[in-house]
């Protein structure tokens, strides 16, 4: 009876982890031999774990990852990919995010850029950091619409809040003058304090041409804005170029010839 009242009060105070632990202890004979300090410690540990898991679930949901199940433990380190294990291992500690540094992933279609970006974003969430995933083409469309409905500054503020902003597929579609200006505002909002992770099929040395011409051969553009974007993105950033053929191709080929062919990017 006393336990029921205690559990009710714990729920009323939103101490759900402690309530669950008390219920378990009430029905587990093995804990009766433990001291009060040991049993109370178990109750507190359960509450702490409950809160950590709840926060992680909230952060993962808010991030809106394109690859929600991607995690650093599943990264494929095939020699053909050219991934430096020690360098990537250092990135999984997320100190680059704490320092407000950027990370740039490049590689061919299907090389696992998006998956790896989501895996590192997942890792950041485990450390209690906020993350937001956005595909560049859709983001620029949303920002263009926000100019007409008066929500641009609100969206810009939202993009500036997360500890890590993942911008996926830079360069996959043409960018016009408004898109270029909006992208600069997004990058400027975060420069020097909050991290950006970029994925792109284009090698970094082609980003300036893309941003200047909008991806249209022979077209003019604003080189000054391109310079400003690259200065804030590339300067002092971490860079990883994923090599080799598309992992999607290798997976499909493996599925035809092997029962155990699935490999994580």
Q: Where are the domains of the chain?
A: 2-61, 64-257
Contacts of 31 (CB under 8 A, 6+ apart): 25, 39, 42
Q: Copy the structure tokens of residue 163.
A: 């500890």
Contacts of 160 (CB under 8 A, 6+ apart): 186, 189, 190, 194
Average confidence (pLDDT) over 25-52: 81
Average confidence (pLDDT) over 113-129: 96
Topology (CATH level 3) of domain 64-257: Rossmann fold (3.40.50)
Write out pLDDT tens, residues 201-250: 999 999 999 999 886 654 556 789 999 999 999 988 999 999 866 665 54
Q: What CA–CA distance (Å, rounded) separates 81 from 217?
A: 30
Long-range Cβ pairs for the range 37-44 (8 Å, 24+): 43/18, 44/18
Answer whether residue 90 shows pLDDT above 60.
Answer: yes
**147, 154 contact by CB (below 8 A):** no
Q: What CA–CA distance (Å, rounded) separates 134 from 224?
A: 25
Write out pLDDT tens, residues 56-72: 999 999 999 999 999 99
């Amino acid at each position: 009876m006393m336990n029921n009242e205690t559990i009710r009060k714990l729920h009323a105070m939103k101490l759900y982890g402690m309530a669950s632990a008390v219920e378990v202890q009430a029905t587990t004979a093995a804990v009766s031999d433990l001291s009060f300090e040991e049993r109370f410690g178990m109750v507190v540990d359960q509450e702490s774990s409950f809160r950590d898991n709840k926060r992680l679930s909230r952060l993962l949901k808010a991030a809106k990852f394109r690859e929600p199940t991607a995690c650093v433990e599943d990264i494929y380190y095939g020699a053909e990919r050219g991934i430096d294990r020690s360098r990537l291992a250092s990135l999984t500690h997320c100190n680059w995010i704490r320092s407000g540094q950027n990370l740039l992933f490049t590689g061919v279609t299907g090389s696992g850029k998006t998956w790896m970006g989501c895996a590192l974003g997942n890792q950041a969430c485990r450390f209690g950091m906020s993350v937001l995933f956005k595909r560049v083409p859709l983001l620029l469309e949303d920002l263009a619409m926000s100019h007409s409905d008066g929500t641009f500054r609100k969206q810009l503020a939202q993009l500036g809040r997360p500890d890590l902003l993942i911008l996926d597929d830079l360069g996959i579609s043409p960018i016009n003058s408004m898109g270029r200006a909006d992208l600069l505002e997004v990058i400027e909002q975060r420069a020097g304090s909050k991290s950006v992770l970029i994925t792109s099929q284009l090698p970094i040395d082609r980003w300036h041409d893309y941003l200047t011409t909008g991806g249209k051969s022979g077209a003019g553009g604003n080189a000054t804005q391109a310079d400003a974007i690259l200065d804030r993105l590339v300067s002092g950033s971490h860079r990883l170029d994923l090599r080799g053929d598309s992992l999607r191709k290798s997976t499909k080929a493996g599925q035809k010839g092997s029962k155990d062919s699935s490999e994580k990017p």
